[in-house]
Amino acid sequence: MTSKKTVHIAVYDTLADWEYGYAATAVSGTPYHRAPRDPVEVRAVSLTGAPVTTLGGLRLLPDLALDALRSEDSSLLILPGAQLWDSGEDLAPFAARARAFLQAGVPVAAICGATAGLAREGLLDDREHTSAVAEYLAEQPGYKGHDRYLDQDAVTDRGLITAGPTEPVAFAREILAELHLMEPHVLDAWFRLYRNSDPTAFLTLMSAAEAAAADAAGTADGSGRDGGE
DSSP string, 138-158: HTSTT---GGGB--SSEEEET
Query: Looking at the predicted structure, is the pLDDT value of residue 228 above 60?
Result: no
User: Up-side HSE of residue 195: CA atoms within 13 Å toward CB?
Assistant: 17
Query: Residue 15: which residues within 8 A CB-CB, separation 6 or more?
Result: 52, 54, 55, 60, 80, 81, 82
Residue 36 confidence (pLDDT): 65
In percent, how much of the chain has pLDDT > 90?
A: 83
Digit-coded pLDDT (tens) for 7-64: 999 999 999 999 999 999 999 978 888 876 667 999 999 999 999 999 999 999 999 9
At residue 223, does pLDDT exceed 70? no
Burial of 188 (0-12, 13-18, 19+ CB in 10 A): middle
Q: Which of 102, 112, 179, 186 is catalytic?
A: 112
**Pick the residue with more confidence: 30 or 195?**
195
Q: Which residue has the higher pLDDT, 227 or 182?
A: 182
Tell me how many degrees the CA angle 8-9-15 measures, rounded to the nearest 5.
Answer: 170
∠ CA 79-80-86, rounded to 5°: 100
Closest CA to 64 of 77, 55, 54: 77
The mean pLDDT of 210-214, rounded to a whole number, is 84
Distance from C-alpha of 111 to C-alpha of 175, rounded to nearest angstrom: 11
Containing 63, the helix (H) or strand (E) segment is: none
Q: Is 206 a catalytic residue?
A: no
Count other Cβ atoms within 10 Å, centred on residue 138. Answer: 13
pLDDT > 60? residue 195? yes
Sequence-ordered list of residues with C-beta below 8 angstroms from that of 108, at least 6 positions apart, any chain: 76, 77, 78, 79, 98, 101, 102, 118, 159, 160, 161
Q: Which residues pair with 40 in a beta bridge?
A: 5
Phi, psi angles (nearest 5°) of residue 41 = -100, 135
**Beta-strand pair 59-60/64-65:** unpaired
Contact between 61 and 51 (Cβ < 8 Å): yes
- Give yes or no for residue 135 having a pLDDT over 60: yes
Q: What is the pLDDT of residues 95-116, one digit of tens each?
A: 999 999 999 999 999 999 999 9
